[in-house]
Structure 1
Amino acid sequence: MPNPTKIQMIVEEAVAAVFEAALPALRTQIVNRTVEELQSLEPAPGNLPSDLLNAAAALIQESPSQAEILRHLLEGAARFCGRAALFVVRAGAVTGWQGIGFENNDTLKSISLNGSAGPVARSIQERATVTGPITELDADFVTAVGPPADGSFVVLPLVVKEKVAALIYADGGAVPDNRVDISALTLLCRFTGLWLELTALRKAGITAPAEESQQAQPQSAATAAAPAPQPAAAAAAAPAGEEDEVHKKARRFARLLVDEIKLYNQAKVSEGKQNRDLYQRLRDDIEKSRATYENRFGSTPAASGNYFTQELIRVLADNDIALMGGNFPQ
């Protein structure tokens, strides 16, 4: 009978020889299969984040009413998360408006969030994005919609004229691997807020009266007893207030124009920062927007503020003027 040890050696040598011969083909199969898997994970044309943002922004710009703008904001937000909801902020109340991706989207219409404490209040007070575990939110809300699979949430403010008009709530939904794209949501909310401001400016025009003032405070005895200002003094005070309002509108308009440049040219902005030639890459868009800005505010007191250039440096170059390049006109 053959020696078992010798048989084992013969078998091992035979297997090794076969494996050695098959190794190149096996390696090729593994590489090809891996490439196929990776390709299947690539976004299809039109589904890149930038494409989705552009599509959402276009729908927002084409909306004929504020309600339509908010609807397209919510629909756009839902492309970057598992579930999304919009809450209107008014007089301290945070009231559900609509949801997408929930088991019953209409449930959101009857839900309110605590706007006086917790993460929602923090987002409103700081006008900032807030993330955290779902257990930090109102228990009634979590019970009504169900917790997300990964146990976390995001709340983003929609800021209009420096006030939070609404909140976008987002989470991954029932799928554990769903990712919330906070950067895309932030940019979408910011664009929508600025577009709402621009819409208001277009309707009102540059000569529109100042925003409604806050409710007058009760006069003190000293104020009530003081003599009324002379007509000349009152007339002299008026231009200063009107001029301040023009400066505020100019700053907001410049911010909107530059944010639009960034929204539609994210790749160029990244490349421009790396190569320190932002102006060269974005010259056409910058000069078109500059002409729009100058046409509206070039002959007003705000012309001295140079707000458009300031926003270019702040938004595109993160306050580093060197990133704009040597040919950047100041």
Structure 2
Amino acid sequence: MQTEMSGSLAFGLDWDRDYFLRIVRLARHIYWPLSVFLLNPSVMYVLIRKSQMSMDCKAAFVAHHIVLICFDVYNGLLYQTVLAFWTITMCVPYLFIMTRMHQKMLFHDSPFKLSMRAQIGVLSALIMTLLANLVGFAIWTGESVEKARIVQTPSVAWTLSVSHNFLVLGAAPGDVGDFIYELILLAASILINFSYYIFITYHAVFKLGKQMKRTSLPAQNSKTRDAQLRFVYSLTIQATLTGIFFITPLALLFIALLVDFSFMPGILLGISRPLFLVVSLQPVLLLPLGRLSREESVVYSATATLARSSREVNSSIEHANSFHYEDWHLAALANQTEVLFL
């Protein structure tokens, strides 16, 4: 393990002590009221009053934003860092929206067209894989018997004047004790759910692209073709951002828990922690509220063209008014700067 020399602490924690802890704490206190009282309510107002999407998707969007508000109050205001419940709850309406929009893009003769009962079954199975993590966190989150000794080491002792909110999983860096089983379970559930998400997203893109290639639109319908293309771009960008801002931070968190980084320079580790937080919160801070209503009309045009070309304007497709999932809060991980995983 790195040794403390001339005021430096192991793993670059002196940077946290002298600079980053104050900055991150200030940012957290600024961010959570903006999210709770401005960003999420504004999006919900647009969804409820200005959008034309179907009622089931509108309700799921609103439910998702309510969960995000609860998450930010719990983590931002109360600063309780046991995040399993709210993190998992966020994913439930998200999966529902993606499934419903995917189904609305399909024709009746598609082998992937599911009945409502089958959709409920698929969603229930996916949600069960997520809820299993709540049990895993409860069973396998045990603190190290070495906690009393670890919190008295020079690198950690200074934090006792800031917070006693510690979770010490193992006796040494890279040791997480029984929590390794929860990490395996979490990785499996992420793999299953993200694979499903990628499949339905790019299946919708493939079907729309195939239909666009097969359908010859007159010149006056160029706006509809543009709407279809923007819809494809929206799906592709959304899938990419989900991977960058949700999967990547989780993967980095896993690596940080399981790998001993004592061989790395302290300054590099000190700078990487706030950068990790910035990447995690970036989609939230860049939330473009104004695009929500515009993208609804984009998707409406795209799905309406599909319906016309197959002469199947029916209840399963006529309400596909919005696919663009503008809220990228799902990607945002918690601010855990004050909690040490050792």
TM-score bin (small chain):
under 0.3
Higher strand fraction: Structure 1 or Structure 2? 1
TM-score by length of 1: 0.24
- Relative contact order, CA 8 A, sep 6+: which one is greater? 2
**Which structure has the larger Rg over C-alpha atoms?**
1
TM-score by length of 2: 0.23
